[in-house]
Structure 1
Amino acid sequence: MADVGRRRKRAFIGSFTAAGGPGIVAAAVDPADGRLTFLSSLNGVPDPSYLALSPTGEALYAVSETAEGAVAAYGLAGDVPEPLGAPVPVDGSGPTHLSVFDGHVLTANYGSGSITAVPVRADGTLAPAASGVLWHSGSGPHAPRQQGPHAHHVGPDPSGRWVVSVDLGTDSVRVCDLRDGSPVLHRECALRPGSGPRHLAFHPGGSHAYVVNELTPSVTVCRWDAPDGALKPLAEVPVLPGAPDGDAYPSGIVVSPDGRFVWTATRGEDVLSVYAVEGGGEALRLTATVPCGGRWPRALAVSGGFLYVANERSGDVTWFALDPSTGLPRRAGSLDVAAASCVVLG
């Protein structure tokens, strides 16, 4: 594969093909002003709603958020992602999130309430998942969204020791080992019933995590004990300064690389929330909300002093320049991508 160090910075955008999205879009990133410029698109699998880069940046992985559920691999030697073999079933339905960890692609399967570990070969291609599936169990008080488990996020902790999965249906975060290619439950950490946790982001200090809740518009601040693999909820803070005007469904959450700020996105209200991180990660203080630049912000990414928002229903990725002293986003531009659902940069 090509020398990553000589490659220009790029963004990769996932979309819902069932809603008219183009599949996976590649865009050039201008490091000076954050601008995205369209390079190519590839309609390789249905509904590649979430993407993840390999640690080297030489490969891209995409879920296929369908009832059958699959994950696909792409090489990134050029400006058009190149398929690396056929998509691999995840043995679960509706995968909504994925990450790369310890020689595997991990998927969170919302429909089946499970997580899957798919082996990655040395050349970046995917091997069959075999028995690498952990099935969640349980439910919550919110009908009909919590009648059963709905895994919505999966990824490694900062220590690289644990796999952490967030389940909207069971109001919990599961901590797992990866043993012989299979996720094995270590501990389940309960959050407030009915909160509907969706995604999790770790503080770069490694001792705190923030869980954005979809069913109640809030963020749960947690202490993370890496040696013990334990998550302890400390406080729940709102994503809005007052009661929502209508629907309010938080979606994405990111932490600034220096650990000073946290940003969330809320669909319906269509705003970004800005938090100041206090107490070394122990507390979040809501400082502002600003329009997301479109409608139905589904996912966020932060890179090089810019915040990127995938706005699903307005069909764009909007970027914001970040004030280094306040973390306040200022809209700087947008790129049209129908049914945009995710953006990653590398």
Structure 2
Amino acid sequence: MSQTLLSVIVPAYNEEEAIEEFHRRLAPVLAALDCDAEIVFVNDGSSDATLDILHRLSEEDSRVTVLNLSRNFGKERAMSAGLDYAHGDAVAVIDADLQDPPEVIPELVAGWREGYDVVYAQRTRRHGESWFKRATAGAFYRVIQQLSRVHIPHDTGDFRLLSRRAVDALKQLREQHRFMKGLFSWVGFPQKPVRYERDPRHAGQTKWNYWKLWNFALDGLTAFSNVPLKIASYLGGLVAMLALTYGGWVIIKTLLFGEPVQGYPSMMVAILFLGGVQLIFIGVMGEYLGRMFDETKNRPLYFVQEYRPAQTVRPRLQHGATGKHRTSDGS
């Protein structure tokens, strides 16, 4: 193709109430850009009418690609599938719920044309979210910035634009527990923020409850930091030193002053304290061990049930039906 091609990846899971309005707002934004575009909708095993709507959009808009996964694999893997199948010289990632306004995409494109490989959208305000969610999100970003050796920008989600060089680098990372915000930063290359205000969700309900968010945060911490293991070692050593010191004091006191048959409360406190510390850090090590176990199985990230490419885009790569890594020659 003679012009630059921009791919927009849109993971969707049960978004029948928002997907048409999202496309209605995105279409004129892409039409106003001086480049060609494709919209890669990744249906992540939706159980509502999302897939039917996407099929209709692909018939009405020649820029629409529909990638239907065989089941729900989760948003992180759905984004990875979109990156595998996107053909653009630049690739934008955006959610379908319209919390991230498509109208910001031209600013992302402008940053890319300035020479930045990753242009990420950074939230200045988060409308429509509870104070508790904002507080916990802020705490998470502060913690992971302190623990991780990779700088992960605060108040930044998945809404961003990547150069082809950055996309090709990301496609080489096939780890099972995928914390994409960290992977976007890990690949490096010149990066630039574009600030915006996040809108309330257009329709439907969020798929992220607090339990899922907690597990997602745990994935991020264990994927990009070994500090919890170091804390386990340091705290274990400190507790052992305190226990030895206390034991020495008990021996000296017994030799000097004697000791009546008492001490049940202090003994139980010590046992429960040491047992609790051990169980906590056995759990920490178990989290890392479980992730190692998942990696050794080397399973594909996803399976594709249907791939309906955009009519106006000629694929530059060959793709298989799984999330295994494929090279440019299809091997």
- What's the TM-score, normalizing by structure 1? 0.28
Larger-Rg structure: 2
| Greater per-residue helix proportion | 2
| Greater per-residue strand proportion | 1
